[in-house]
Amino acid sequence: MKRIFLDVDEPLADFVGAANTFYGVDIPKEEITKWELPYGRYGKTHNSFFKDLTEDFWADIPKQPWCDELIDFLESQDGYSVCLLTAPAHNNATGKQRWIRKNLPKFYNEKRYLIGPAKSFCAGPDSILIDDRGKNCDDFIAPPLGFVGGRAIVFPAPWNHRRHCADPIKEVKWLFGLITGRSSLLPEHLQIKGVVR
């Protein structure tokens, strides 16, 4: 069985939208074009921005509209098992655990989640990471400590190089097809005719 590690914030949970609501601002996601948020526009510094987010904030972040479709797609891939992989920050691990229990109870009950910052330690020849942070994907493919890496899909978001993708789920599906050799998942003009995968 091969492994898919799936990030939570952005691929599954609308962190940016929830932060806008929490701080009473309206910063369009498209304007966040680099990894660090424009903390000043929230009237915060990096530290105060995260320190002031409550456990309930993390537990109550809305699901992304595509969350269930993404989970269903990945869960339907024969030979792969899916595990959530989310990094905690500023004492929010309990809030993240509550989010998983509430929104994806199957993953909570089956203990298919990891809350930890060392994402690249999950890398390996049979592992795929799906994550909106480009650096996490780079480190998963070529772990900084030199152990054998895995493969990764950068989940499209305005703050990474896939920002121009109109449909993130469509993008993930064909990227998954590309890196796993599952030709039927590719756009029709790229499918290998006569090869059954």
Q: Taking the mean position of all CA atoms in its chain, how far away is CA 118?
A: 15
Residue 169: partners with Cβ closer than 8 Å, 6 or more residues away: 66, 69, 70, 73
Smallest separation, CB 101 to Mg ion (Å): 19
Nearer to Mg ion, 14 or 132 (CB): 132
16 versus 186: smaller Cβ distance to Mg ion: 16
Of 5-13, 38-46, 63-71, 99-107, which part binds Mg ion (CB under 5 A)? 5-13
Name which of 132 and 139 has its Cβ closer to Mg ion: 132
**Burial classification of residue 164, based on how many CB atoms lie within 10 Å of its CB (0-12 exposed, 13-18 middle, 19 or more buried):** exposed
Q: Which residue is nearest to Mg ion (CB)?
A: 9
Active centre residues (catalytic):
7, 9
Does 9 interact with Mg ion (rule: CB under 5 A)?
yes
Site for Mg ion in 107-136 (CB under 5 A): 132
Using CB under 5 A as the binding rule, whether residue 10 contacts Mg ion is answered as yes
Measured from the CB atom, the residue of 10 and 14 that comes closer to Mg ion is 10
Q: Under rule CB under 5 A, how many of the chain's residues touch Mg ion?
A: 4
Q: Which of 5, 6, 7, 140 binds Mg ion (CB under 5 A)?
A: 7
Q: CB of residue 91 vs Mg ion: minimum separation in angstroms?
A: 18
- Is 14 a binding residue for Mg ion by CB under 5 A? The answer is no
Least distance in Å: CB of 190 to Mg ion?
28
Shortest approach of Mg ion to residue 9 CB, angstroms? 4
Which residues of the shown chain bind Mg ion in the complex (CB under 5 A)? 7, 9-10, 132
